[in-house]
Amino acid sequence: MLHNILIPFLFSYMKKYFLLAGTLALMPAMTFAQDADVITSTVSHWPLLAAVLGAALATILPCIGSSIGVSMVGQSGAGLLTEKPDLAGKVITLAVLPGSQGLYGMVISLLFVFSFGPSILDQSVTLSPLQGWAIFGAFLPVMITCLTSALYQAKVCSAGMHMLARDGRLAGRVITLAALVETYALLGFLISFFMLNALQAGILS
């Protein structure tokens, strides 16, 4: 039930933030509508802004999913530990699992920073609009899969607390079930990784 409430709530706020970001991005062009040079300068930076925004969201969204996921499992585990404090190690292990998605997103963002950052920020390489949005698109797999898988993995881990309450020796089975969900976050991570490497070879070569 909590999971079914959190996801619509999260995405409704994400939609508002994206609309606000889009409005703010258009404000400079509207403000200086009479100055063609300013408009040209602003538009020329949009591909870079799209790429940097993608890198930022690749960490922000998975970390949001991970923080919610870890919180959900932690709340379930807290109730179990009041009755069986000897299961603390297993409960903490389950609570940590949804946190890995945030790390996947951070690694992809760092790949962009260290691979593209030095070249495009000192303007030795100028991104075209197509290249800027292609880089943004490369972040989408890790953004979406890690955000959603963290929440679903947390749901599996929270349900696993009931298994541990009955038999603490079932922790291995719960971890296996949760790891199956994380497989798809790993797939998103790999696709983003290889897409960025391919774009790096094409843009910076």
Average pLDDT, the chain: 81
* pLDDT at res. 13: 47
CA-to-CA dists, residue 177 to 115, 135, 160, 170, angstroms: 35, 33, 9, 11
Q: Are residues 21 and 118 in the same domain?
A: no
Can you spell out the DSSP letters for 153-183? Answer: HHHHHHHHHHHHHH-GGGHHHHHHHHHHHHH
CA end-to-end distance (rounded Å), the chain: 50
Q: Are residues 64 and 145 in the same domain?
A: yes
Q: Are residues 56 and 30 in the same domain?
A: no
d(CA 75, CA 55): 31
Q: Are residues 119 and 189 in the same domain?
A: yes
At 124, which CATH number? 1.20.120.610
Q: pLDDT of 131-173, one tens digit each?
A: 889 999 999 999 999 999 999 999 999 988 888 888 878 888 8
Pair 70, 154: CB distance under 8 Å: yes
| 128 secondary structure, DSSP code | -
Q: Are residues 131 and 175 in the same domain?
A: yes
Pair 98, 154: CB distance under 8 Å: yes
d(CA 29, CA 31): 6
Q: pLDDT of 89-104, one tens digit each?
A: 888 889 999 999 999 9
Q: Are residues 87 and 12 in the same domain?
A: no
Q: Which two tokens stand for residue 30?
A: 């509207």
Q: Are residues 49 and 3 in the same domain?
A: no
Q: Are residues 174 and 101 in the same domain?
A: yes
> Considering its fold, how many domains does the chain have in total?
2
Pair 150, 68: CB distance under 8 Å: yes
Q: Are residues 107 and 162 in the same domain?
A: yes
Q: Are residues 17 and 110 in the same domain?
A: no
Average of pLDDT values for 95-116?
A: 93
Q: Are residues 167 and 123 in the same domain?
A: yes
Pair 87, 169: CB distance under 8 Å: no
d(CA 76, CA 173): 17
What is the domain range of residue 9?
1-44
Q: Are residues 52 and 34 in the same domain?
A: no
